[in-house]
Amino acid sequence: MSNTEVSALEMSRRGMLAGGAATAAMTTAPMALAQQPAPMSKPVPTMPVAFEVNGRREELNLDTRTTLLDALREHLHLTGSKKGCDHGQCGACTVMVNGVRINSCLSLAVQHQGDKITTIEGLGTPEKLHPMQAAFVKHDGYQCGYCTPGQICSAVAVLDEIKRGIPSHVQADVAAKPQVTNTEMRERMSGNICRCGAYSNIAEAMGEVAGLAPVGGASA
């Protein structure tokens, strides 16, 4: 849940309630209450920002507090990226920025002037699925689906990271080129939590896209 949204919402609700109460009780309200400054009296700083999302140039004027995730969901209505924890712990908000996966909840939109952002909506469409999306469907890589857009963005990025030779914790020799293995994929996906527990099927889906032989025939 967004603190920004909630506080803005509560602020306006409180403002309305206080306003209503003040009007109704005008004759009896103590002066101190009547003289309290109106909430939100100071304008919040806003800034223009322009970036490319899924190949489309977007220009926004945003409260500086707006995270990249909130800009995508609330302002551009790309609601595929999900808000799970809003603290970088669950990975549901994972998107690619300039080809690299990040937690969009832990990044301010204004930090991304000129960046190229790819969300789940930019990977594939219901008519033309990305191979990773198709593999998740085939291998049942989800149950409730809430973490899935983040899982898929992360999964696509993980295979790319292995291809680019980015080392990982499970390598015996970090100077060597990493290989696509089930263990490597599991380690690299640890920033994406799935509370339904679809992990083994997610790893199967990733393995298929990477060209790995299925592990022990565990999935259909």
Partner 1 sequence: MKAFTYERAKDAKAAARAAAQPGAKFLAGGTNLLDLMKIEVETPTHLIDVQDLGFDKIERTREGGLRIGALVTNTDLAADERVRRDYAVLTRAIVAGASGQLRNKASTAGNLLQRTRCPYFYDTNMACNKRKPGSGCAAIGGYSRQLGVIGVSDKCIATFPGDMAVAMRVLDAYVETIDAGGQRRAIPIADFHRLWGDHPEQDTVLKPGELITAVTLPKPIGGKHFYEKVRDRASYAYALVSVAAVIQSDGTGRVAFGGVAPRPWRVEAAEALLPQGAAAVTARAFQGATPTEDNKFKLPLATRALASVIAQSKA
Work out how close the CB of 196 gets to partner 1 at its nearest, in angstroms, rounded to a whole number.
18
Which of 24/100 has CB closer to partner 1? 100
Which of 22/166 has CB closer to partner 1? 166
Which of 48/214 has CB closer to partner 1? 48
What's phi and psi for 53, nearest 5 deg? -120, 120
Work out how close the CB of 211 gets to partner 1 at its nearest, in angstroms, rounded to a whole number.
21
Work out how close the CB of 1 gets to partner 1 at its nearest, in angstroms, rounded to a whole number.
10
Q: Are 144 and 196 in contact (CB under 8 A)?
A: yes
List CB contacts of 43: < 8 A, sequence separation 6 or more. none
Give the DSSP letter string of the chain: --HHHHHHHHHHHHHHHHHHHHHHTTTT--HHHHTSPPTT-SPPPEEEEEEEETTEEEEEEEETT-BHHHIIIIIS--TTS--SSSSSSS-TTEEEETTEEEEGGGSBGGGGTT-EEE-HHHH--SSS--HHHHHHHHHT--SS-SSHHHHHHHHHHHHHHHHTT---TT-S-TTSPP---HHHHHHHTTTS--TT--HHHHHHHHHHHHTPPPSTT---
Work out how close the CB of 130 gets to partner 1 at its nearest, in angstroms, rounded to a whole number.
19
Return residues touching partner 1 (CB under 8 A).
3-4, 7, 42, 44-45, 47, 63-65, 67, 86-88, 91, 94, 100-103, 106-108, 110-111, 113, 154, 157-158, 161, 164-169, 174-175, 186-192
Which of 30/165 has CB closer to partner 1? 165
Work out how close the CB of 200 gets to partner 1 at its nearest, in angstroms, rounded to a whole number.
15
Which of 12/111 has CB closer to partner 1? 111
Work out how close the CB of 47 gets to partner 1 at its nearest, in angstroms, rounded to a whole number.
6
Which of 29/108 has CB closer to partner 1? 108
Tokens of 141: 């890589």
